[in-house]
Structure 1
């Protein structure tokens, strides 16, 4: 789910209904009614995700279609999306806590396009753990962060703020077959990062422990997190 701006309010069904009726009638809902509708929709989706034991994923801090000339000539998603610097900690915490209070907070992966949000996302994920190992995940560096420096920076933040061994690793961008190579790229960077920590005396030089951590991040954690049945 793309959350370019994270919506959150203590919504009322009256305003949710009004937003829907306005939109269906060709009227642009008010900004406040729109937030009520978006919050309610995310809560109800979370309820379904939890019921079916699905994982919800939030992609945050993308500012879309910034170049009006490209937009007019080629349409949306034509190469002018950029990082956003919106302040999303309070609405994100509010949204997750509302789902928690409604007993519908499912396993969740949080991604941010902007690396300045890394520590915020890592700390927010840590505040809502419980019931499942690594229930709220800080998703792998995304989009502009999908680079060596981006991966290294994010792995450092995860290791500093949470339990790196619970991380579920990189995702696949299924829109492009070439994206599958990112798994190998990420694994090499992961091993190099952990190996550097070991060489510098910052982590135990225990082969079995290291093997377990790397195998977990590269495969086993995702297998268990998504309940994938593989013999």
Structure 2
């Protein structure tokens, strides 16, 4: 066995796990069906020049760790040089042991740069210089980073107001990796948010509709769904605290929307009625177009108001929320299913206390029409680590069919994040290999278990998404 920390059998604890990973999972292509990568950088085939630009900038996982260690914001999001920022990250890495960042960091150095040294203050200078030299070469351009990990599809996430110009140009380029998008209309749903009316004005301009009524809003959103669909979009995504479900009438929702446009404050009940109505409308439209809908539920965002004012959203000030999920989610899905307008759906929870809730909820609406029609999404954000992913796999196995699972995604803004698929696959194979070793799964069915691993790694997602 290699003496390197990241070696061929990293996280694989017995011969069965090794066989499953190396023979059935390792070489499967990657379908990354949800991320926040920049389509412009893919189109431009961007060259990053140094590791800070591609690895640290925008990565709020790393930022949180550095802040916890006491690193000054100057070296995180401030005006320090790229090299100074990297040196502070390198100093932080040894302190991240038992945080997934420690594993991810060394997987990414090994897979992209063939670097097996542990990153710390002593090795930082050498690693920074060698990776910067490589990243300055066209062999490490944005597209080649995706080729290096055998990516077949990457699906970015865009607002309804996006013109998709970069996606359009990518479809006529010679880049063989499929780059698609997911429709993310949260800003049109969350009517209580500051700046909502300004956003509605922007949406109206893009849709070429003067939005003066709730009917106009629905027309504008439908117009953008049609536009996204015409440009290859097959998914949508929503990042919500929880699903709203409140009884409403169309007349009530029209009045609520008008009230908002006129600058009046809405009650909590009015907000819930509106959010329920618009999300049901959107989900019915997704069903009409045959899209897959995704719901990321449970984040408590922008907790540090002082730093949010300075740095804005998505800069590392979010955490897990303890919202009630089951009752409203059930009512919402049931409202769609009762009209046979529930499209393929993926539900992600951020609170691990909701694992069994989600694992059992999907079974209520898997109606036999599509294999794995309603999915319990992979461990997300704070849960996409060894413990979180394993618990998600166990909950799904115990209460559903793990064999129908569509597997991992990065949900990342970094082009170096794709070894998370490898990390997931190794954990999956080790989980199954351990049960084979203990006699809980039959070693005589190794070929069948291997097929299941290949399906979860790649084939199920390939069949589930209509790209």
Shorter-chain-normalised TM-score: which range?
A: over 0.9
CA distance in 2, matches of 1:56, 1:27: 32
Q: Does the CA-based 8 Å contact 1:16-1:34 persist in structure 2?
A: no
Q: Output the TM-score relative to the length of structure 2.
A: 0.48
Q: How does 1:203-218 map to 2 (within 5 A)?
A: 203-205=441-443, 206-218=445-457
CA shift in 2, pair 1:102/1:34, >3 Å: farther
Q: Quote the residue 2:242 is aligned against.
A: 5
| Aligned pairs for 1:71-220 within 5 A | 71-130=308-367, 131-173=369-411, 175-205=413-443, 206-220=445-459
Deviation at 1:174, TM superposition (A): 5.1
Note if contact 1:173-1:180 (Cα within 8 Å) is conserved in structure 2. no
3-state SS of paired residue (1:26): coil
Aligned mates of 2:285, 2:412 — CA distance in 1:
23
**Bigger relative contact order, structure 1 or 2, given CA contacts below 8 A and separation 6+?**
2
Contact 2:302 2:318 in 1 (8 A): yes
Structure 2 stretches lacking a partner, 5+ long:
1-237
Aligned counterparts of 1:186 and 1:113: Cα–Cα separation in 2? 17
Per-residue CA deviations over 1:2-43 (Å, capped at 9, x if unaligned) read 121321112211221122111211223221121111111111
Report the TM-score, using the length of structure 1 for normalisation: 0.95
Q: CA offsets, 1:170-202, max 9 Å, x none?
A: 123252212212111111111111111111111
* CA-based RMSD: 1.2
My pick for the range that moved more, 210-219 or 200-209, is 200-209
Query: What secondary structure, in the 3-state scheme, does the structure 2 residue paired with 1:76 have?
Result: coil
Q: Distance in 1 between matches of 2:278 and 2:342?
A: 13
Q: Aligned pair in 2 of structure 1 residues 78, 174: CA closer, same or farther (>3 Å)?
A: closer
List gaps (5 residues or longer) in structure 1.
Answer: none
Task: Give the Cα separation in 2 of the matches to 1:114 and 1:69.
Answer: 25
Counterparts of 2:343 and 2:256 in 1: how far apart (Å)?
A: 26
Cα pair 2:381 2:411 within 8 Å, conserved: no
Hey, what's the Cα distance between the residues in 2 that align with 1:102 and 1:38?
19
Moved more, 196-205 or 160-169: 196-205
Task: State which drifts further: 123-132 or 20-29.
Answer: 20-29
Partner of 1:221: 460
> Contact (CA 8 Å) 2:240, 2:297: kept in 1 or not?
yes
Whether the aligned pair in 2 keeps the contact of 1:43 and 1:104 (CA below 8 Å) is no
